[in-house]
Chains A and B, each alone.
Chain A
């Protein structure tokens, strides 16, 4: 098979996101990573289907030169599910937003995760409704002032990570729009994961929620307020790489290496494949000011997938059944002859 490149996945459509929008970087990462994935898995380009719902990020399929489906608000996950079940040979990527996937489409989102259907969901989280011009979303911070909350919201936001892991998700990763390399890294991991992969991309909305993630993405503070988790590596962070995470069996703690007798040996090693989901939830839930926000692949575990289950059951039933065509079916059970 001819090696695919970035260009093969770029459509001839003009990208219409606002200049400075975080979505550009996510699109670029996806276009960069799919050729690599194709090489590893020996996938032809026509195997890819990119699905989306409605919202700014959901324009993404038009910019990918693959089969694409720009569906309706909130329903991308259901459309993706149908595509994957109907033809498991296809590899499905999905772009959806925080309002799209977690408000109007919340039901489909949690159920796709529960079923562990083998699709790759990129959740663009800018904590705002952008396409409708600035209303609060289910991930807007408590008290967020938006057009529909001029005096501040009085509702708690979802943390997509805890939602995914609460539904027993088998793969959850998080990154910032500007982290091009990390984005490629987690997208590749998601592609190789068999099951429902959710990648939360913390994106900025320059127009309606500028600085949506500035508290962690600002270069001045990023190193101290985020931690990049990699399977098998020590959980250390900070501008001087001198902070780390320890877990005393029930609680996570941030420690300073070299202070109070803490050595590198005390720092936890990240195990993304662990079946200890409580630990992964604790990592996904971390937030400032006491904790860094976790980026990277937080959880990546194997489990049976829905699409495999459907396929295997079909084969198994067909093997045992005496009904192999509709004529057999029509004549099965109780019948009688009129002469």
Chain B
């Protein structure tokens, strides 16, 4: 069967199935393979909180979207060119994401009466019912074909059924002209030690899927998405945001010469950071899986007092539990990195869905006047630099720092040009130096006159014995409830954080420095905003953008950048928390809000619309 091969600039594929169908693995494999092929890419796992949600139901559908391209790819894509639906529920939950020109590949065997009923279809024609009957439909009996493919493999029936995703991946590889070698290598690496017996059957089923797609009429064309030829030369890898946070902290540990200690409690979607750090004991990293979130941060504070680079990783509900201890870190002026991989809230909310709704909590969520620097990561790979910079600020300015990540960044991945550690700056904490004179007392809260940073005397140093704690004290560290001393200390702690603005990069402006509209955002919305701004420019309109990696303090040129524009469009995945903060900091500008609180990232199309409305 001859297929026409079409060259395409970018392709979005969405793999969807039951949460036990292996869609996350299928999607990641396709992504990794494309990365190695040289494509730009971005991924977005979208899965339910239940490990094995009720079989065949819409609530149990797990999805993984991957966007590959011949150029720079900034988002996982709004709509897909190929939707893979392993059962009726997956089709029902995801049909709306298929482009009008897209293809839908389904496992025909799953579309029996029972499956259709579980997914809640009213008719026996799911495609018409979902109004996607005009898409290119590839209705393949994947279950039967997988069973047939592996009938002589010696595997039991249950194990054979688990290979359906590999058959499907084989089909997708044919459609997008991907050689299977990469996946073969992956399978060999992964299973050669523990389960060598599964390698051959998986290879066979992949091949059979590939060949089946090649032989059927239903696949209209095949596509090829050439590699990104403008990519900077160098060694690349694919990296998720959570992995990048962990590695960024390890990098800061190396550059500061301080062992890394991470005290954390498992919580979706931040757990992978703790898991990743637990792997790297060879770099001297100590991980403590604490009995609760409070112990996570308190063990970290203890470790910080004892001279380690200390971190605790969590998500929104965990950050709430850590609030009191965060105040203790502010009061004792000890370095600490708190990573919040935000998820949909409030309370338990929608744990596996992404949001930017913890900004106000990070800025204000503590008793007393309790300023904490807040930084944000803007892409999965950027989580590395964000974590490194958060640790650098914490260690050099003797303060806890909150790093805001998002489920979308933590679980999402992109190719990353591997940096050399030689290009990263040293981190120099303000350790006390030398020995004290006879009779001289160390004053733990005496400040550097420029930065307001106190000195760090780590226990074990002779002569520097001192006490820290949550009570107010004077510069000498002696407890004090003197009203004026308290007010001075409150002001100095705030001033110390404000002065960090002198040490962080200035806000970068993308586009003309004067105009009608400046589009801004913070954190994980970067790729979507950038894509939207590029689209608006393609439409011939002028618009500028700036993205905030540093929220408290704001970059010192923020006011200057803002003053070139009539209006500022603040795009964020909450009801307007950054906008409210900016209004508070700089009330003289006109802010327009663009918000979404659906547990989902922006669509580029939504942002294009919002921008066009303002210009």
Please list the residues of chain A having a beta carbon within 8 angstroms of any beta carbon in chain B: 11, 13, 44-47, 49, 51, 54, 61-62, 65-72, 75, 78-87, 89-90, 107-108, 111, 310, 313-314, 317-318, 320-321, 323-327, 329-331, 333-339
Contact = CB atoms under 8 A, between A and B. Distances in A.
Given A67-B467, A337-B233, 14 more contacts: A46-B465, A70-B467, A70-B468, A72-B328, A82-B299, A82-B301, A83-B305, A86-B261, A107-B292, A325-B254, A330-B237, A334-B238, A338-B38, A338-B233
A339 B283 CA distance: 30
A313 B281 contact: yes
Given A69-B468, A70-B469, A86-B302, A78 B282 contact: no
Interface stretch (B306-314, B354-362, B446-454): B306-314
Given A69-B468, A325-B421, A82 B306 contact: yes
Contact size range, B: 35 or more
B470 to A, nearest CB: 5
Contacts of B234: 337-338
B120 to A, nearest CB: 40
Contacts of A334: 32, 36, 186, 237-238
A339 B227 CA distance: 12
A208 to B, nearest CB: 21
B295 A107 contact: yes
A79 B282 contact: no
Given A47-B460, A86-B286, A314 B310 contact: no
A93 to B, nearest CB: 12
Given A323-B283, A329-B280, A336-B237, A69 B462 contact: no
B20 interface: no
B45 interface: no
B216 interface: no
Contacts of A69: 302, 305, 332, 467-469
Contacts of B35: 336
B395 interface: no
Which 3 A-B pairs rank lowest in CB-CB distance, beginning with the nearest?
A82-B302, A70-B469, A321-B282
A78 B306 CA distance: 13
B5 to A, nearest CB: 24
B591 interface: no
Given A79-B301, A82-B302, A107-B291, A330 B462 contact: no
Contact of A72 (B286, B324, B462): B324
A49 B304 CA distance: 13
A108 B466 contact: no
Contact of B282 (A80, A90, A317): A317
27 contacts: A51-B302, A68-B469, A69-B467, A69-B469, A70-B469, A72-B327, A75-B295, A75-B325, A79-B299, A82-B299, A82-B300, A83-B306, A85-B286, A86-B259, A86-B306, A87-B308, A108-B294, A310-B288, A314-B281, A314-B286, A329-B283, A331-B235, A334-B237, A334-B238, A336-B38, A338-B231, A338-B233
A85 B261 contact: yes
Interface in B466-493: 466-471, 478-479
Nearest to A79: B302
Per DSSP, chain B at the interface is: mixed
B251 interface: yes
B376 interface: no
B468 A44 contact: no
A78 B324 CA distance: 14
Contacts of B302: 51, 69, 78-86
A11 B459 CA distance: 16
Contacts of B468: 68-70
A336 B235 contact: yes
Contacts of B303: 82-83, 85-86
B467 A82 contact: no
A62 B465 contact: no
Q: Which of B283, B307, B421, B465 has the most CB of A within 10 A?
A: B465
Contacts of A333: 237
B299 A78 contact: yes
A61 B236 contact: no
Interface of B: 32, 35-36, 38, 186, 231-238, 247, 250-251, 254, 259, 261, 263, 280-284, 286, 288, 290-292, 294-295, 298-308, 310, 324-325, 327-328, 332, 417-421, 458-471, 478-479
B388 to A, nearest CB: 10
A327 B254 CA distance: 10
Contacts of A321: 281-282
A82 B261 contact: yes
A75 B286 CA distance: 20
Nearest to B282: A321
Contacts of B420: 327
Contacts of B294: 75, 78, 108
Contacts of A310: 286, 288
A46 B462 contact: yes
A338 B417 CA distance: 9
Contacts of A54: 470
A70 B470 contact: yes
A147 B295 CA distance: 30
A300 to B, nearest CB: 25
A79 B298 contact: yes
Given A326-B254, A329-B280, A333-B237, A44 B306 contact: no
A320 to B, nearest CB: 8
Contact of B288 (A13, A44, A79, A81): A81
A68 B302 CA distance: 11
A68 to B, nearest CB: 4
B292 A82 contact: no
Contacts of A82: 261, 263, 288, 298-306, 310
Q: Which of A61, A87, A111, A314 has the most CB of B within 10 A?
A: A87
Q: Which of A65, A78, A85, A331 has the most CB of B within 10 A?
A: A78
Contacts of A339: 233
B295 A78 contact: yes
Nearest to B297: A78
Nearest to A9: B465
Contacts of B235: 331, 335-338
Nearest to B459: A67
A111 B300 contact: no
A32 to B, nearest CB: 18
Q: Which of A75, A107, A313 has the most CB of B within 10 A?
A: A75
Contacts of B280: 323, 329
A89 to B, nearest CB: 7
Given A68-B466, A81-B288, A83-B306, A325 B301 contact: no
B305 A81 contact: no
Nearest to B230: A338
A199 B413 CA distance: 51
B467 A68 contact: yes
B236 A335 contact: yes
Contacts of A90: 306, 459-460
Contacts of A326: 247, 250-251, 254, 283, 421
Contacts of B263: 78, 82
